[in-house]
Amino acid sequence: MSETNKETKKSEKMSSKPKKQTYSVCFCCRRRFKLGVSEAPPEIRTLFHRYCDQNGIMTASHLTRFLIEVQKEENITEEQTQAIIDSQKHLSIFHRRGLNLETFFKFLFSDSNPPLVPSRGVHQDMSLPLSHYYIHTGHNSYLTGNQLSSDCSDAPIINALQRGVRVIELDIWPNASKEDVDVLHGRTLTTPVALIKCLTSIKQYAFVASEYPVVITLEDHLTPDLQAKVAQMVTQTFGDILFCPSTEGLKEFPSPDSLKRRIIISTKPPKEYLEAKEGKEKEDPPKGKPADDEEAWGKEVPSLRGGTIADYKQDDDNDLSDDEDDDEEKSLQDGSDEYRRLIAIHAGKPKGGIVECLKVDPNKVRRLSLSESQLEKAAETYGKEIVRFTQQNILRVYPKGTRITSSNYNPLIGWMHGAQMVAFNMQGYGRSLWLMQGMFKANGRCGYVKKPDFLLKPGPINEVFDPKAPLPAKTTLKVTVYMGEGWYYDFKHTHFDQFSPPDFYARIGIAGVPFDTVMKKTKSIEDSWLPSWNEVFEFPLSVPELALLRIEVHEYDMSEKDDFGGQTCLPVWELRSGIRAIPLHSRKGDKYNNVKLLVRFEFI
């Protein structure tokens, strides 16, 4: 069946006369509910009559005026609006002179009216150093599930690359015979996968979703001879697409533009194998069953207000020596020369604690890694120093070790301090991961989003951005949530409630700097597959450049947990003003076929 015929069939279904739906209450009792028809909300009717002619038809000239004045679409022409009208010809309710109320409503509520401009593509300046961008970053990219006992595979790597992830992390260890290299989460019960299999899959899928560079971060636990073997594998697998700098230390990172379709290796200088081996291989894996610390759709994202995150406090990762070797020069001497030459982005933590870690060398750039809790602790005292460090260098933030269920943390703690690589467990789901997916819908979903200018350079008196400082509102986002539809087609009729149609409510809010972060809620609409809320929310934004709009729909359940009905997260700075159809996604981030909301965005 063609797409046009599918759309016609779907539209005729949604615009047909109301039907009845029956639910069983017990063996002898049944309840019948009338199924509603998707109709234009009152404000849409008012707007239509304001812009249509006296015969109730919106011609190309009328629609052009509506798109300019209400939808804030600049440079729109009558030829383009006529094309919009012609695109509705497949509907049985089409009028040859223009749009009537029903076809106008169908257009507004269609996939051709999304909240982000679909044809915009990559539109930010991509000629700046890599340190000027947020980069879509994975953590332990090879794990299929939890951090203790799941399988290691190239499948989650492939899935991440297909979703636009640009940084893949591999932990590399000697295999059982000590003659080859495996990828696994060391000192756990995870089953290994061969490094060569991961590298081959990365080459095959690296540029499916984006042509911008893929960074492979290696967590190295190898002997020098195996490092040499890795160097051979990497060079033979990637060949000319591997970026190897001409000098050992870069003074400035190259740009994404200059590295299109290139593979970059980032790791700390080679470890001393004996140091890594002594006493560590015999350690027992972490004990205890992985705790289920998330609700069905993920715990609420912890607040960043006041610089503390209560959910993060139970952490055993408080020092600064966990991820990198302290003595870079000594370990360099023990590593394979071939392996060392592959490293384009050097990682390392100098001795002396956080103050030394954050010192900026004007002649050399590097990558620093901190756990989420290390960053939180450092930000309490050294927030401005972190921002200054990330203006030139790359900061990678990774989940704390106690997240054994592969849950994630609030990414804003890293982003608002300029951290480029906020590393996430991509194999799971939950609200934190929805924020990550929302951020990287920006800039054409290419996996690189330019940081705001205030995080890239100091101000007139050499000041840097302070994420905790209260700032006046730059703008206010006004969100009108009209209605939703599509659940009836994407879910079984008893999915939400065995005895009646669902009672949907929506949660609307902002994830951003602490003073902008908030969540609000609509009323619940009882017993309806077509909830009509018609509620207005206003969100003053002091830093709109870091604001993500969060939308969730749930079904109210009096006796149990509320059921999940869809979610999306959108970058505020790329929202289209006007009335838009917002597709909703599953807990894992997959777009539903039909579920969407009709919402109006206004910046006031």
Question: Which contacts of 583-587 are long-range, i.e. CB under 8 A and separated by 24 or more positions?
Answer: 583/111, 583/114, 584/484, 584/486, 584/551, 584/553, 585/434, 585/437, 587/296, 587/297, 587/298, 587/429, 587/430
Q: Are strands 167-174 and 475-485 parallel, antiparallel or unpaired?
A: unpaired
Q: What tokens appear for 561 in the block?
A: 């947990």
Q: Is 247 exposed, middle or buried (0-12, 13-18, 19+ CB in 10 A)?
A: exposed
What pairs with residue 357 in β-bridges? Answer: none
Of the residues 136, 185, 221, 417, which is catalytic? 185
DSSP string for residues in 246-299: SSSS-SSPPPTGGGTT-EEEEEPSPPPHHHHHTTTTTPPPPPSPPP--S-TT-P
What pairs with residue 422 in β-bridges? Answer: 136, 397
Q: Does residue 221 carry a catalytic annotation? A: no
Q: What tokens appear for 409 in the block?
A: 């943390």
Q: At what angle do helices 78-86 and 60-69 cross, to 10 degrees?
A: 110
Q: Does residue 185 carry a catalytic annotation? A: yes
Kindly compute the dihedral angle of the four CA atoms of residues 178, 184, 187, 190, in this order, to the nearest 10 degrees: -120
Alpha helices (H) in 33-97, listed in sequence order: 42-51, 60-69, 78-86
Of the residues 62, 132, 136, 139, which is catalytic? 139
CB 216 within 8 A of CB 264: yes
Q: At what angle do helices 42-51 and 60-69 cross, to 10 degrees?
A: 120
CB 592 within 8 A of CB 585: yes
What pairs with residue 336 in β-bridges? Answer: none
Secondary structure letter of residue 526 according to DSSP: T
Query: How many helices (H) does the chain have, and how many strands (E)?
Result: 16, 21
Rounded distance between C-alpha atoms, residue 577 and residue 106, angstroms: 18
DSSP string for residues in 489-501: HHS-TTSS-SSS-
Residue 311: phi and psi, rounded to 5, are -65, -15
Closest CA to 323 of 266, 363, 274: 266
Kindly compute the dihedral angle of the four CA atoms of residues 131, 541, 423, 410, in this order, to the nearest 10 degrees: 150
Closest CA to 36 of 523, 527, 498, 552: 527
What pairs with residue 98 in β-bridges? Answer: 95
Kindly compute the dihedral angle of the four CA atoms of residues 424, 427, 429, 431, in this order, to the nearest 10 degrees: 10
Rounded distance between C-alpha atoms, residue 40 and residue 317, angstroms: 54
Residue with the two structure tokens 């539903």: 592
Burial 459-478 (b: 16+ CB within 10 A, else e): eeeeebbebbeeeeeeeebe
For the chain, what's the residue count? 604
Q: Which residues are catalytic?
A: 139, 185
